Amino acid sequence: MALSNNNSKPVSHYFLFFALILLACGVTYGTIGGLQYLIPGYLKETLSFEKTRPLHVSSVVFWIIIAAVGSMLSYLPQHTGKKIYSSMLARIQLMLMIGAALAITIGYYAGIFGGREYWEFPPLFSLPIIIGWLLLIYNYISSIGNLFKQPVYVWMWLTGVLFFLFTYLESLLWVIPYFRSHVINDMTIQWKSYGSMVGSWNMLIYGCGIFLMDKISGEKKYSYSSIAFLLYFIGLFNLMFNWGHHIYTLPTHAYVKHISYIVSMTELLLLGRIIYKWKDSVSTARKYFYYLPFRFMVAADIWIFLTLSLALAMSVPAINVFTHGTHITVAHTMGATIGINTFMLLAFVFDILGEKSYYVKQNRKSIMIGFWSANISLFIFWISLIGAGITKAIWQMKSNQEIFGEMMKNLWPYFLSFVIAGFVLATAFWIMIVPLFRKNPQSANDK
């Protein structure tokens, strides 16, 4: 089999390489942030927690978004059988994304903030992201041509690209004084936009997931089935309306909370389906488990089950009051963005970049060690955060509370296992992704 010549890569591969660099940086910042949990004031002068947190969160969020776009742009021509409409537009978009990421990183190092939680950079840096995204929408729609008799993943990608722009703009409405001056409405919009934005990038990622599963099984039965479209509509419904658990503690209209609570509970259908299909999943997993990308998909499936269970519990208002402002929220966010998003994206990356990589084949054993270490350490990481969250929640509810410092001391064992597991997790990611960057030797290209 001829291996690829590294000089003639499609632009989508460069999206993936750039995203992987962000992942490597992101987990490194995360580890430093974790150390700062244990040693308050560590690196205070150069890289305080006020900087490492946004550096970490922005890097990993951009990893997810850029890798999702890169995977979609790689799978799109495989679906249509043609090149994407304009690789020049994709290249410009990538340049704009790189420019924005650099500006944001330099800004954080220099202590220039001015944004909101999760997007803590000055809103002006959003401009290249928005322009790049407009180019992506144009490129995607032009590449697809028409929507007649398209499989579900084409609809999911379309929904993802359109809703991401919408929710991103919504998250920036606070720059307009009218929105900023109404505090409750401002916060409601802010948290609503974050919830829906995650739903938008999930549409891109789950669309790629369905494409990959079809590719592995060699048939397109599922992506045209009515169950696939039904699940897509549940996802869309949730994307639009299930963000209510983000605002339970805000004194906003009750009907908004009631509607979103009911919508959140439709996700029980997804959970029920996972359990119902469990036996089938296990036998399918046995059949394809030798294939690296498939393994990541199986891992993500288990994490969907764990994360959805925690998310559904957190969507019950009586439990939400208890978990709000604790590390249970962080466990939920990281469980979803690592266990589901990152593992699925790694499945695509190994399918797209790894298939023809000499060094991925050569390093299969160490990549497998990375895979298992990442899964085990993530589980310990997640449980530690939940443990810390429960301890804090119990403290919050006590009428005769001990002082805050005393409670923080009780959290220390959880933080210690969180940091050790986080270090192993970060190392596992590094081990898995480094071979993807290595250029094939000439001898391998000639075979």
Binding site for ligand HEM (CB under 6 A): 23, 26-27, 30-31, 33-34, 37, 53, 56-57, 60, 329-330, 333-334, 337-338, 342, 419, 422, 425-426
Residue 385 and residue 334: Cα distance in Å, rounded? 10
Phi, psi angles (nearest 5°) of residue 119:
-120, 75
Judged by CB, which is closer to ligand HEM: 150, or 333? 333
In angstroms, give the least distance from the CB of 52 to ligand HEM.
8
Residue 171 and residue 211: Cα distance in Å, rounded? 30
Judged by CB, which is closer to ligand HEM: 53, or 79? 53
Residue 236 and residue 229: Cα distance in Å, rounded? 10
SS3 state of residue 119: strand
In angstroms, give the least distance from the CB of 211 to ligand HEM.
22
In angstroms, give the least distance from the CB of 312 to ligand HEM.
17
Judged by CB, which is closer to ligand HEM: 26, or 195? 26
Residue pointed to by tokens 């429960």 = 390
Residue 3: what residue type?
A: L
Judged by CB, which is closer to ligand HEM: 126, or 326? 326
SS3 state of residue 114: coil
Q: In the complex, which residue's CB is closest to ligand HEM? A: 422
- The residues near 369 (Cβ < 8 Å, ≥ 6 apart) are 428, 431
In angstroms, give the least distance from the CB of 425 to ligand HEM.
4
In angstroms, give the least distance from the CB of 78 to ligand HEM.
26
Name the DSSP class of 122. -
Name the DSSP class of 290. T
Judged by CB, which is closer to ligand HEM: 310, or 334? 334
Judged by CB, which is closer to ligand HEM: 292, or 334? 334
Judged by CB, which is closer to ligand HEM: 161, or 426? 426
Buried b (16+ CB within 10 A) or exposed e, 193-225: bbbbbbbbbbbbbbbbbbbbbbebeeeeeebee
In angstroms, give the least distance from the CB of 223 to ligand HEM.
27
Residue 385, both tokens: 């955060």
Closest C-alpha to 11, from 121, 98, 108, 86: 86
Closest C-alpha to 154, from 133, 167, 175, 140: 140
Judged by CB, which is closer to ligand HEM: 60, or 152? 60
Judged by CB, which is closer to ligand HEM: 105, or 139? 105
Q: How far apart are the first and last CA of the chain?
A: 6
Residue 416 and residue 377: Cα distance in Å, rounded? 13
Residue 107: what residue type?
A: G
In angstroms, give the least distance from the CB of 152 to ligand HEM.
26
